[in-house]
Structure 1
Amino acid sequence: MSKVYFIGAGPGDPELITIKGRKVLDSADVVIYAGSLVNPELLKGIKAEIHDSSKLTLDEIIDVIKNAINKNKIVARLHTGDTSFYSAISEQIERLRKLNIEYEVIPGVSSAMAGAAILGQELTIPEISQTVIFTRLEGKTPVPESEKLSELAKHKATMVIFLSVGMVEKVKDELLQGYSENTPIVIVEKATWPEQRIIRGILKDIDTVVKDSGIKKTALIYVGESLMASVKSLGKESKLYDKDFKHGYRE
């Protein structure tokens, strides 16, 4: 039965696609992939007709899908990371609904999760931060006034900033309206790719750190006191495994 599968390809490492996503990719008749970000290793050995969406408009992508569905083919729409944010699947799904084309979304591993794993880092440390904010600086795509970095920084939660390393001076200025200048920061470039880089520093130096590294894109900015947990013992333990904490599974 013809259908469109939106698949999160993971952050880069071809082994970080889900088993379900891999099975669909291998069985698909047509694959449309985000060529600017998806690792081409994922496409090796597949039998499908392949289209690189980095060269296509939304209308052209939908035309490829329509033509495939009309021929009763299975379409795999391969996006980087996870599909739940900054993936642009919503606008595609709106078009498919209007065309009565069936679709399914298969989640993937976000680069935000992959970066934390590389650091050996839990982003929610008891008594330090129990909230993680995924966001971006406004650029060509605007953000609501209430979601500007300067507003979100007031929470002092752990923050993962996408698509913004190329505007690092503005990132710094806005974050300093909430976080202290000595707040830990980590830049993770191309998480899980062979050429990945990790750079640590503090907020007041973030612009210098980024410029000196030569990083201009495809990098995440992690901010928050919780980031100290991957470099030293903080002595903050959850109640989950506390010997004095009783719950339904442990008397």
Structure 2
Amino acid sequence: MTLISIVGAGPGAPDLLTRRAENRIVNADVLIWTDSLVSPQIADLAPAGCERVRTSTLTLEQVLPLMVERANAGKNVVRLHDGDPCLYGALSEQVCGLADAGIDVEVVPGISAYQATASALRAELTIPGLVQTIVLSRTGGRTGVPQREELKHLAGLQASLCLYLSARHVDEVQTTLLEHYPADTPVAIGYRVSWPDQWLDLVPLEQMAQITHERKLIRTTLYVISPAFRSTKLRSKLYSPDHDHLFRPKN
């Protein structure tokens, strides 16, 4: 069966690609890439003779026939997405559309922006005794979210909350979050994390909207709201001398 690779480009830096992702790109005959979000440095990894198709101005109805035609012609087709294709990546409709055309799909995961953000801050988002849950979501905006997943419900967990696609609605977001998190809760605001022009800072929740407006952030912005960013000496039990487990039983 003909195969197309849908590949996660990660947050932006070429050296944060997985080895499998890089392999697919450097061997592509056709690169169909999200040029509005994927670093040109990553697209440039494709070979010189590779056909490159930018998708920022195209619809799914334009992209799918192109993918099918090239794949049926025996080409190695790589559909390159920012971040991880399984997260806000329009993956489902592409897989279904290609399946209808008799084409199988390989999905190659990529590092997500929330992981790159936490790593850049040298921070763990799951601190024992403080927070053990990470929520990945977005505010409603133009496309909406299911009612049960509205921000007011998610914020009630006071978990490590990672919000994508929300900068245009930051005032509303901050107001809702302040109903559940303390005003001084640390918020990581990350713009184009891992790109050469990255901007990343930790701010109090009560200043989240102000700083977003001051920086004129409206896209490619991630918010991570988490008590885990506070300085803490809480530690996991995994390496604690008084905690036994399968590989370190009690004497």
What's the TM-score, normalizing by structure 1? 0.95
Identical columns (%): 34
Q: How does 1:182-201 map to 2 (within 5 A)?
A: 182-201=184-203
1:235 aligned onto 2:208: no
- Counterpart of 2:15 in structure 1: which amino acid? E
Mapped partners of 1:33, 1:176: distance in 2: 38
Mapped partners of 1:161, 1:101: distance in 2: 33
Secondary structure in structure 1 of the residue aligned to 2:56: helix
- 4+ long deviations beyond 4 Å: none
Aligned to 2:59: 57
- Counterpart of 2:88 in structure 1: which amino acid? Y
Aligned to 1:247: 245
Aligned to 1:160: 162
Aligned to 1:43: 43
Pick the aligned partner of 2:106 from 104, 107, 123. 104
1:213 aligned onto 2:180: no
Secondary structure in structure 2 of the residue aligned to 1:186: strand
Mapped partners of 1:33, 1:94: distance in 2: 19
Report Cα offsets for 1:45-95 as digits up to 9, x if no partner.
Answer: 523211011121101111111110221111100000111110001111110
Q: CA separation of 1:98/1:2 partners in 2, compared to 1, >3 Å: closer, same or farther?
A: closer
Unaligned regions of 5+ residues in structure 1, if any? Answer: none
CA drift of 1:211 comes to: 1.5
Aligned Cα root-mean-square deviation (Å): 1.2
Q: How does 1:121-160 map to 2 (within 5 A)?
A: 121-160=123-162
Instruction: Note if contact 2:7-2:109 (Cα within 8 Å) is conserved in structure 1.
Output: yes
- Counterpart of 2:85 in structure 1: which amino acid? T
Unaligned regions of 5+ residues in structure 2, if any? Answer: none
Instruction: Note if contact 2:174-2:205 (Cα within 8 Å) is conserved in structure 1.
Output: yes
Secondary structure in structure 2 of the residue aligned to 1:155: coil
Q: CA separation of 1:210/1:176 partners in 2, compared to 1, >3 Å: closer, same or farther?
A: same
Instruction: Note if contact 1:150-1:176 (Cα within 8 Å) is conserved in structure 2.
Output: no
1:95 aligned onto 2:108: no
Q: How many residues align?
A: 247
- Counterpart of 1:4 in structure 2: which amino acid? I
Report Cα offsets for 1:117-136 as digits up to 9, x if no partner.
Answer: 00001100111100000010
